[in-house]
């Protein structure tokens, strides 16, 4: 997108690729001014790792935007949110890369410095996304300087702040300079406390919900003999879910606030400030630490053109995990993480992450089956589901063999 500010590259290199976001969420360029460990200089709120503060109430507007024709509704929202804008001067940019929602930017400044993003929920996405929870998580992340300003909710979407930056691609997240920033930012999110409560992981609830949707809404399709070679039977899906729950829940991975959908395009890099920021919080919630990391490693392969040869090597993973653990300890331990990172805890996290990567494949495969039935977005969801199931069964014996040293 020509109007975006190009960030200075790390170590003299400029990240290549489109600055537009192609996530499972809304897609489009959303924000780029990421924050380092500690407070975001531009984002008021309590420190990461603290209990969080009260977020201001989000206005709710009784406006519904037509998913099939979003521009008229977006302009109507601007009349409410930006009454000082002259309607004739308002420009719009429709982003087409997202595979869950529709997204449009409204602005009057050519540089889009004043842009407001209007995200319209995709058809039937309420089946697998709890919008009230998403709104709360958005506010929590904002209170900790990890999300943009949220301007309003409307009947079928949200309006929020636009901060331009470079959306990463698979080649970016392999760069040691950038992946250390990503690891540190994930540690910041994971360090947000649950206000004294003991949250349960959302993973099993999500998987059971998705599998129920597959069984009730898609049973004839999944039972079709022509799909049996690529899509497991319902009985096998139930068996695999039970196996995962029994196996993975015993690994001792901490429950932390997770993004749960950290594909490459959901990471924005600002080379001027040397920060990254995460976007799209539809799936955010308390979950296993190792799931969030394993899910991100799976996303090294990309979304539109999936290539699992890009899955990070053990050497790359250990470098990433060391940066993560160092940052996480500094944020959560009273001694500032001065104890360092031992080889034993590094290896244990490596094993946990790779085992939980199976749950990531399974979840997004089921998600793809559901989206294939309901979504109006131009994306081959069934092909994507088949790829994720294939990789799940390919990697299952490999990661099952991994053991944590006693």
CATH code for the domain of 25 = 3.90.1200.10
What pLDDT score does 221 carry?
59
Q: Is the pLDDT of residue 7 over 50?
A: no
Q: How many CA atoms lie within 13 A of 360 on its CB side?
A: 29
| Residue entry with tokens 């009947």 | 155
> Does residue 206 lie within any of the structural domains?
no
Q: In angstroms, rounded to a whole number, what is the distance separating the alpha carbons of residues 25 and 102?
A: 9
Residue 77 burial class via C-beta count within 10 angstroms: exposed 0-12, middle 13-18, buried 19 and up: buried
d(CA 246, CA 52): 33
Q: Tell me whether residue 29 is in a domain.
A: yes
Residue 106 falls within a domain, yes or no? yes
Between 2-6, 169-173, 339-343, 356-360, the lowest mean confidence (pLDDT) is in: 2-6
Residue 209 in any domain: the answer is no
Rounded Cα distance between 253 and 158, Å, is 33
Distance CA 167, CA 165 (A): 6
Instruction: Give the 3-state secondary structure of residue 99.
Output: coil
Q: Which domain holds residue 387?
A: 10-201+249-400
Total of domains in the chain? 1
pLDDT at 86 over 60: yes
Sign of CA dihedral 329, 334, 339, 342: negative
Average pLDDT over residues 354-367: 98
User: Has residue 212 been placed in a domain?
Assistant: no
Query: Going by DSSP bridges, is the β-strand pair 166-167/116-120 parallel, antiparallel, or unpaired?
Result: unpaired
Answer whether residue 243 is part of any domain. no
- 195: three-class secondary structure by DSSP: coil
pLDDT in tens, 250-259: 999 999 999 9
Does 172 reside within a domain? yes
Instruction: Give CA–CA dist 322/179, Å, rounded.
Output: 11
Listed range (18-22, 251-255, 397-401) with the worst mean pLDDT:
18-22
Measure Cα distances from 34 to 165, 172, 283 in Å.
Answer: 9, 16, 20
* Between residues 324 and 49, the one the model is more confident about: 324
Q: Is the pLDDT of residue 30 over 50?
A: no
Average pLDDT, the chain: 84
Asked which of 94-108, 129-143, 175-189, 257-271 is least confident by mean pLDDT, the reply is 94-108
Give residue 167's pLDDT.
Answer: 87
Is 160 domain-assigned? yes
For residue 4, pLDDT over 50 is answered with no
């Amino acid at each position: 997108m020509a109007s975006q500010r190009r960030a200075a590259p790390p170590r003299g290199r400029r990240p290549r690729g489109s600055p537009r976001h192609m996530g499972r969420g809304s897609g489009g360029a959303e924000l780029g001014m990421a924050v380092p460990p500690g407070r975001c200089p531009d984002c008021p709120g309590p420190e990461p790792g603290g209990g969080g503060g009260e977020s201001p109430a989000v206005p709710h507007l009784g406006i519904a935007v037509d998913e099939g024709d979003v521009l008229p509704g977006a302009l109507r929202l601007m009349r409410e949110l930006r009454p000082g804008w002259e309607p004739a001067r308002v420009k719009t940019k429709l982003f087409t890369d997202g595979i869950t929602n529709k997204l449009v930017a409204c602005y009057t400044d050519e540089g889009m410095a004043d842009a407001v993003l209007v995200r319209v929920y995709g058809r039937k996405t309420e089946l697998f996304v709890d919008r009230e929870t998403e709104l709360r998580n958005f506010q929590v992340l904002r209170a900790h300087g990890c999300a943009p300003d949220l301007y309003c909710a409307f009947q079928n979407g949200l309006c929020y702040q636009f901060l331009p930056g470079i959306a990463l691609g698979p080649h970016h997240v392999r760069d040691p300079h950038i992946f250390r920033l990503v690891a540190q930012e994930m540690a910041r999110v994971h360090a947000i406390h649950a206000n004294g409560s003991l949250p349960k992981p959302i993973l099993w609830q999500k998987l059971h919900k998705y599998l129920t949707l597959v069984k009730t809404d898609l049973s004839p399709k999944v039972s079709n003999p022509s799909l049996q070679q690529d899509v497991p039977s319902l009985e096998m899906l139930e068996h695999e879910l039970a196996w995962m729950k029994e196996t993975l829940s015993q690994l001792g991975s901490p429950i932390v606030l997770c993004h749960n959908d950290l594909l490459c395009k959901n990471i924005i890099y600002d080379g001027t400030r040397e920060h990254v920021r995460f976007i799209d919080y539809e799936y955010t919630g308390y979950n296993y630490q190792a799931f969030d990391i394993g899910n991100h490693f799976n996303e090294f392969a990309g979304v539109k053109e999936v290539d699992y040869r890009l899955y990070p090597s053990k050497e790359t993973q250990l470098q990433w995990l060391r940066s993560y653990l160092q940052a996480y300890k500094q944020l959560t331990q009273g001694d500032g993480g001065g104890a360092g990172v031992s080889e034993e805890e590094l290896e244990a996290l490596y094993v946990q992450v790779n085992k939980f990567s199976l749950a990531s494949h399974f979840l997004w495969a089921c998600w793809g089956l559901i989206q294939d039935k309901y979504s109006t977005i131009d994306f081959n969801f069934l092909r994507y589901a088949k790829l994720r199931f294939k990789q799940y069964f390919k990697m299952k014996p490999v990661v099952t063999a991994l053991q944590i040293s006693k």
